[in-house]
C-alpha cells in the first residue's frame, strides 16, 4: 500500500490550509498595532533627556565615573596594599604584630600601661 488513504489526504490538506491561514493571520497590517501614545512620566522624560548622546549630564557623569575608577584602582587600592605591608611587615614598633607575648613576672613593667606587676601573695592554706 503506497500513499495516503483518502481520509488521510483530506486531513493533510485541511491542516495545510489551516496552517497557511494562521500564518497569513499573523502578518500585521500597516495600521497595526493600534496603541495610544501616552505622555511619558517624569522619570521617563528624565532618562530620555539624560541618555541623549553628547548631553552635558552624560559627559559629566562619565567624567566623574572615570575619575572615581582611576582614584580607586590607581590610588586607594595601592595605598592600602603599601599601608598593610609597612604596618605588618616592615615597621619595628612595639605594638605592631606580636608573634609571642612575653611572659610577665612579678616586678616587671607592663609596656602599654606602665604598671608594675605586683608580687604574688603568700598564702598558707589549701592548694
pLDDT tens-digit map of 6-41: 999 999 999 999 999 999 999 988 888 788 888 889
Q: How far is CA 88 from the centre of its chain?
A: 30
Grid cell 609571642 in the structure block, residue = 100
Quick one: CA dihedral 112, 118, 119, 121, positive or negative? negative
pLDDT digits (tens, 9 = 90+) for 52-87: 888 887 889 889 999 999 999 999 999 999 998 888
Contact 108, 116 (CB under 8 A): yes
Look up the pTM and report it.
0.36
Grid cell in block for residue 25: 493571520
Cell output for 47: 532618562
Amino acid at each position: 500500500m503506497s500513499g495516503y488513504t483518502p481520509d488521510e489526504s483530506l486531513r493533510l490538506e485541511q491542516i495545510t490550509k489551516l496552517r497557511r491561514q494562521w500564518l497569513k493571520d499573523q502578518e500585521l497590517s500597516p495600521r497595526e498595532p493600534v496603541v495610544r501614545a501616552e505622555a511619558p512620566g517624569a522619570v521617563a522624560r528624565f532618562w530620555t533627556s539624560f541618555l541623549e548622546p553628547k548631553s552635558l549630564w552624560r559627559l559629566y557623569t562619565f567624567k566623574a565615573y572615570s575619575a572615581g575608577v582611576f582614584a580607586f584602582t590607581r590610588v586607594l587600592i595601592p595605598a592600602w596594599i603599601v599601608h598593610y605591608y609597612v604596618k605588618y611587615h616592615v615597621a619595628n614598633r612595639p605594638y605592631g604584630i606580636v608573634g609571642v607575648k612575653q611572659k610577665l613576672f612579678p616586678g616587671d613593667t607592663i609596656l602599654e600601661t606602665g604598671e608594675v606587676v605586683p608580687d604574688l601573695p603568700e598564702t598558707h592554706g589549701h592548694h
